[in-house]
Amino acid sequence: MTVLINPVEGIRGQNVDSLLDDGASGLQYFIQLLPRYNKAFGDCSHTEAKICAEYDEQRGMNLDKLADTAEALYNALQVCDTQWGVQQGLSQKMSTVWSSGAAAEAAATMLGQQLTLATEDCTKLTTAVEAFATATTKLRGLVTSKKDWVKALVTGNQVLVGGKTVADIDEMIEETDVVDVGTIGLGVVAMAVPGLGSAYIGKTAYEKQQAEAWLRDVFKPDFDGKLANFLSLCSNTDDTVKLAYGVLTTATNALDSGAYPRPAGTVTADDKGDGTTPAGTTPSGTTPASTTPTTTTPTTTTPTTTTPTTTTPSTTTDDTISEIVSTVTNAATDLLTTAAGTLSENMDTITSSITEGIENAVGQLESVFDQDADDDGVPDVVDGKSAEFDLAGNNVKIEMGEDGNLKMVVTGADGQSTEYGMTIGADGQPVITTENGEPVDEGEPTGDDAAAEEGVIGDGTPSSGSGTADESGTPASSTPSMPGATKREDDGEHYSQPLPAGETEEEPVDTGAVLAEAGPL
């Protein structure tokens, strides 16, 4: 999975408050003409305060914060993509160091499941990044369109209707308020101004007619039309803003913050999300000498977002964006912790277990070579290719065979030698095998002394009984029994021999190390 493009490139720009301030001069059209409209035609459906509130509906919506969130999510996505690639490579290489056995198969299956879930989460995070980036750009475009339309209502900071100024409109309204002098009587006027009464009356009536016609046919349609277009533009802008926040909510709700599948013994989902990754635990069934190293989860910093506000009480944009930003911040943090921390933790646990298993096996073999047969406190010197020592009356020699594999040669008191192979089993533990490759049955004596009584390896003390095989269910990985030093009678029976007078019981031979205490080979 690779992030091919940068969806947050170019999303920065002028903020909403600045855009609205730039276009606010166009509101003078309504501010100056609304009182004159009310005087000429009665009260308008909208007051000045309501018109201004419609224009300022998106004021307080901070697009910079939305851009910050989009960029933070994109940075988190890049980290997630990088870590996904690393874990994918480790998963593919794991088969070269651990490919056999049920545990290896289970580990590979779990890593595959985690990588699949991480892929799905990265896809969802990509959708969220694109949603925030698109919303930031689209919302800025909406507010810009509304600002430009309102600003164009005023030409050169002057309100004009049909080429007439506000002062011209006032004169026309005044002319429509002239008293109809015809009701006073033409005779009175004629007496006061001989020869002028009829002409004056005619002119006044004509001007009143003309003023009323212009106000009715030009001013009113112009004001009503622009007010309707303004209200429609504001309504569409508000609806689109709410729709955009709905898309953000859907994208962030799709992010899954649930825990990934983990090996038994790790922390539960309730412990996740505290900012730290717990130390890995030892896989069940093993007891290594060292603890599993703690993994470190890569972290990203998501800027704190603030909630944009609007001037309309009924608008729910404030609560919506606050919830969205909080949700996406928590979801992105959980995603990184899950996708990177969990995979790294499990790979470190697996690697540590393999390393410890190898170290234990090497240590067990070294304990055989570092014997102190002469009990002088200094390990016996070996030639680096073989180790030889006496054990319970038998000569035991461990050496490197011609095929490069270890072998153990046991020579009895009668000079008869038996050769055993030494290999590493599927569980990582050394196994002693016969010449034909079959594991040695630990309960059966081997060599020419097959009928001899068995003794405990390392203490030289023969065990009681008739020499029958041990059927107690001892694991096959335990150290196999060696022939004892007790001689047998001709009839196969064993009798205790009294010690001669004046003699004490001879102490068993001290080989300097007890293989049974060194751990299973």
DSSP code per residue over 316-376 = -HHHHHHHHHHHHHHHHHHHHIIIIIIHHHHHHHHHHHHHHHHHHHHHHHHHHHS--TT-S
Whether residue 352 is found in the same domain as residue 406:
no
Predicted pLDDT of residue 347: 46
In a domain, 36, yes or no: yes
Query: Average of pLDDT values for 267-284?
Result: 43
Whether residue 332 is found in the same domain as residue 418:
no
Higher pLDDT, residue 185 or 16: 16
Percent of the chain with pLDDT over 70: 53
Higher pLDDT, residue 418 or 268: 418
Place of tokens 């475009």: 141
Whether residue 204 is found in the same domain as residue 90:
yes
Whether residue 398 is found in the same domain as residue 347:
no
CA-based nearest residue to 480, from 414, 375, 408? 408
The 10 Å Cβ neighbour count of residue 238 is: 20
Last residue of a domain, one of 289, 321, 356: 356
Whether residue 228 is found in the same domain as residue 143:
yes
Percent of the chain with pLDDT over 90: 24
Q: pLDDT tier at 312 (50, 70, 90 boundaries)?
A: very low
Output the average pLDDT for the chain: 69
Higher pLDDT, residue 475 or 250: 250
> Which residues are within 8 A (CB) of 25 and not within 5 positions of it... i.e. 6 or more apart?
151, 154, 157
Query: Average of pLDDT values for 132-154?
Result: 94
In a domain, 453, yes or no: yes
In a domain, 374, yes or no: no
Predicted pLDDT of residue 406: 76
Between strands 386-391 and 482-483, the pairing is unpaired
CA-based nearest residue to 325, from 259, 245, 388? 245
For 306-323, give one letter per residue: b (16+ CB within 10 A) or e.
ebbbbebeebebeebbeb
Query: Average of pLDDT values for 96-123?
Result: 85
Whether residue 142 is found in the same domain as residue 250:
yes
Whether residue 334 is found in the same domain as residue 430:
no
pLDDT at position 274 over 50: no
Q: pLDDT tier at 294 (50, 70, 90 boundaries)?
A: very low
Predicted pLDDT of residue 196: 43
CA dist 397 and 472 (Å) reads 29
Predicted pLDDT of residue 199: 45
CA dist 23 and 147 (Å) reads 5
Predicted pLDDT of residue 150: 97
Instruction: Choose the most confident range, by mean pLDDT, from 166-180, 294-308, 503-517.
Output: 166-180
CA dist 192 and 187 (Å) reads 9
Give yes or no for a contact between 35 and 166, defined as CB atoms under 8 angstroms apart: no
Predicted pLDDT of residue 160: 94
Whether residue 402 is found in the same domain as residue 336:
no
Whether residue 102 is found in the same domain as residue 214:
yes
Whether residue 93 is found in the same domain as residue 198:
yes
Instruction: Choose the most confident range, by mean pLDDT, from 68-77, 312-321, 344-353, 478-487.
Output: 68-77
CA dist 465 and 468 (Å) reads 7
In a domain, 501, yes or no: no
pLDDT at position 34 over 90: yes
pLDDT digits (tens, 9 = 90+) for 201-241: 455 788 889 999 999 999 999 999 999 999 999 999 999 99
Supply the range of the domain harboring residue 406. Answer: 380-462+479-484+507-521
Predicted pLDDT of residue 414: 79
Predicted pLDDT of residue 254: 87
In a domain, 85, yes or no: yes
Whether residue 390 is found in the same domain as residue 343:
no
In a domain, 363, yes or no: no
DSSP reduced 3-state for 292: coil
Place of tokens 């988190």: 76
Q: Give me the number of domains the chain comprises.
A: 2
Which contiguous run of DSSP H or E holds residue 399?
strand 394-400
pLDDT digits (tens, 9 = 90+) for 433-467: 776 656 655 444 444 444 444 443 444 444 444 44
In a domain, 417, yes or no: yes
φ/ψ of 163, rounded to 5, equals: 80, 0
In a domain, 287, yes or no: yes
Whether residue 195 is found in the same domain as residue 162:
yes
